[in-house]
Amino acid sequence: MEAHPRRLKAVFGRDVRLVVPLFQRAYVWNEEKQWAPLWQDVLATYERSADDDPAAHFLGAVVLQLRPGALGAIEQREIIDGQQRLTTLQLLIAAVSDAFTRRGLDTKASRRLRRLIANDPDAVDDEADIHKLWPTNRDRSGYVEVMDGRLLEANVGEVEGQIRRGYLWFRDAVDAWLVDVGEDDHEVALSRLAEVISDLLELVVIDLGEQDDAQMIFETLNARGTPLRASDLIKNLIFRTLQDSGRPVDRLYEKYWKPLEDPYWEQGDRIGRLVRERLDVFMGHFLVVLLNAEVQSHSLFDAARRYVSGDAHRAESLLIEIDRYAAIFRSVQDRQVGDDTLATGLERLAIADTQTLQPLLLWLFAHAEGDDRRQAVLALESYVVRRVMCRMTPKNYNRMFLELLRRLSEDDAPVGKVVEEFLAAQRAESAVWPTDADVRRAVTTFPLYRLLRRDQVQRILRILDAEAAGPKSERLVVQGSLSVEHLMPQSWREHWPLPLDENAAAREEETRAELLHTFGNLTVLTSALNSSLSNGSWSTKRHEILRHSALHLNRELPGDWGTARIVERGERLADLAVRVWPRPASDQPESSWLPEGPDGEEKPLRRGGGPRGDIAAHIVEVFAGLPAGSFMTISQISKCSSAAYPDGPPSQGAISARLFPRDGRPSTVPGVRPDTERGVRGARRL
């Protein structure tokens, strides 16, 4: 390995072919981070060029490796690192060269500059060899258009691709600079600018010898600065390994990798709070399936490198499997699976909003089919949606679904049976498949409006409504977004009077607080009601609900509405929920909760008899997904599950004592404060 500082006239001035390997990423540099700073550096160097001995401006380093070629052929060097920088410099030089051309200036300076982007036509055998730099397949058409002068008068809005945009940006920057220079001085200014670019811009060129490991050097250099995507590094690893073994990389690239350069794979997918490119997201799920092991997002390339281990056969096998699973991933994501039941199941799985299922789905669609696959997907749907409704934590899904993936890979039994039995066998609260009794309790008593996201509430209510309507009913097609509406309004006091008896009024008020945000009191409308209608009398509100109804169930709404009706409707929805998401019979107890204890309070079932959890941690987790200002009663908090209480939630008394200490000390539960709403004690998120 040899490193030498070289001015651009030395890098580009001789007849040479700088080739970007087809497996490197496409050109991605942009105005804000690279083009504008480079142009400002060039102009600053131009201003200094009037000095007696102006210093060169250092642009960074590039790594090249000599390619073997026929005797007498033009010298070819492969760009190991620095293709973005070298491509950008070629675009800059082309823009300045074209500034001469567009002004009819044919000078010694313009001809010298042109030789930095084009080889001597008499020195090349192939027409394409005229270009000093030869980009990766994806960028070639745009690059040739630039170098052939076909974009001299193009507009930025008319072109696609960063190569074309980069050239036009430099073209416009040069034009704007020349306006400031003045029309009479264009030839002089351009000649000086050409000299600055040729003689005062400097790169360190690292030339690799035959024994130098190009792949290792590429990885090391790309561990700093703006990192490559994991998929870029994996692509480079695969094709470098194949190229070194003499495999037909051009054919393999065209057949297996080129489809992954479709814009579909460049879209961003939200993973938690982060947005990652879809190809990297897929690559993470695929590697979990391939290796049957957890692979962190920051370790994708390391996992692939360990798998390949320099073996060309493994590299080709990996490439073929990536192509196969990418097609499966896309069909699953787009719900294009050739089976309406499966497509519906995949759509409903999205209620859980968890990426941990994706490797499992990839495996199922790669290895199972027909009723077997359908049984597995529907079991997963029931499992995760039941847990969503019961507010059970998804924190253990990574480990558990990976264990299921390994079981599927090792077990010869029918896939659907393996999945069902595995899920039904889970006993810990962090993994249990909720029973029918659990679901009924959650639907009828949990304040799910506050505990779930609005889109989750909408989806579940729409699904339950479709079940109520039956398969022969006309499917309702809803245009636009939906709105969740409380049947008994959140502000009910004006039009929903309490009983005159003080004790009865207190009981009714507490019951309303308990039922207000349960499914029995919620519906979905095609248009949100204004506040006067939403909080108005039931007769007026019912009329408006039927006008904007998005549910068949709304047609059943009675002429009167109160807590008894909410309970009835909640039970109806609970019946529908256990029917839509069935659970196989097992030796589980009927419910995760025991019936009422001797003191009349419902007691949680403690399966393992383990130690009691941290009540503060339980309260914090219950409020974790809620917006600031959200209020929950102590009773509501006691009905939610949490990782802090894996064997069942704490009692109302324990929660009350933690929020309202009897010795008068302030509560120390982080992120919430004890509060009272309409005379009912609870907590509010800060």
Burial class (CB in 10 A: 0-12, 13-18, 19+), 511: middle
Q: What is the pLDDT of residue 35?
A: 95
The rounded distance, in Å, linking the Cα atoms of 101 and 658 is 80
Q: What is the mean pLDDT of the chain?
A: 86
Q: Tell me what pLDDT residue 212 has.
A: 64
Most trustworthy range by pLDDT among 469-478, 567-576, 592-601, 644-653: 567-576
The stretch 147-159 carries a mean pLDDT of: 89
pLDDT above 90 (res 501): no
How many residues comprise the chain?
Answer: 686
- Condensed to tens digits (0 to 9), the pLDDT of residues 182-211 reads 767 899 999 999 999 999 999 989 888 665
Answer whether 278's CB lies under 8 Å from 267's CB: yes
Could you tell me what percent of the chain has a pLDDT over 90? 48
Q: What is the mean pLDDT of residues 569-589?
A: 87
Helix (H) or strand (E) holding 3: strand 2-7
Q: Residue 459: exposed, middle, or buried by beta-carbon count in 10 A (0-12, 13-18, 19+)?
A: buried
Name 49's Cβ contacts closer than 8 Å, sequence gap at least 6.
Answer: 192, 195, 196, 200
pLDDT for the residue 599: 38
DSSP 488: S
pLDDT at residue 356, as a whole number: 92
C-beta of residue 97 within 8 angstroms of C-beta of residue 125: no
pLDDT reported for residue 589:
55
Secondary structure (3-state) at 632: strand
> Is residue 503 over pLDDT 80?
yes
pLDDT in tens, 246-262: 899 989 999 999 999 89
Please tell me the distance from the alpha carbon of residue 660 to that of residue 652, in angstroms, as a whole number: 12
Q: For residues 392 and 381, give the distance between their C-alpha atoms in angstroms, rounded to a whole number.
A: 15
- Which of these, 359, 353, 346, 352, lies nearest to 402 by C-alpha position? 359
Shortest CA distance to 581 belongs to which of 469, 466, 449, 452? 466
Most confident of 1-10, 182-191, 442-451: 442-451
HSE, side-chain direction, 13 A CA sphere, residue 38: 27
Q: Could you tell me which residue, 289 or 219, shows the higher pLDDT?
A: 289
Looking at residue 607, what is its pLDDT?
38
Contact residues for 518 (Cβ-Cβ < 8 A; gap 6+) = 443, 444, 445, 446, 447, 448, 449, 566, 570
What is the residue extent of each domain of the chain?
2-221, 230-434, 438-580, 593-685
DSSP 8-state assignment for residue 255: I
Q: How far apart are CA 634 and CA 514, in angstroms?
A: 10
Highest mean pLDDT among 297-306, 383-392, 423-432: 383-392
Q: What DSSP line would sit under 189-234, residue for residue?
A: HHHHHHHHHHHHEEEEEEEE-TTS-HHHHHHHHTTSSSPPPHHHHH
Q: Tell me the DSSP string of 359-376.
A: HHHHHHHHH--HHHHHHH
- Residue 550, pLDDT > 70, answer no
Among the listed ranges 34-38, 172-176, 233-237, 488-492, which one has the minimum average pLDDT value?
488-492
Centroid of chain to Cα 403: 24
CB-count exposure of residue 520 (10 Å: 0-12, 13-18, 19+): buried
Phi/psi of residue 677, each to 5°? Answer: -130, 120
Average pLDDT over residues 461-480: 73
Reported in sequence order, the residue ranges of 221-284 that DSSP labels E, i.e. its strands, are 268-271, 274-277
pLDDT digits (tens, 9 = 90+) for 311-322: 999 999 999 999
Across 327-350, average pLDDT? 93
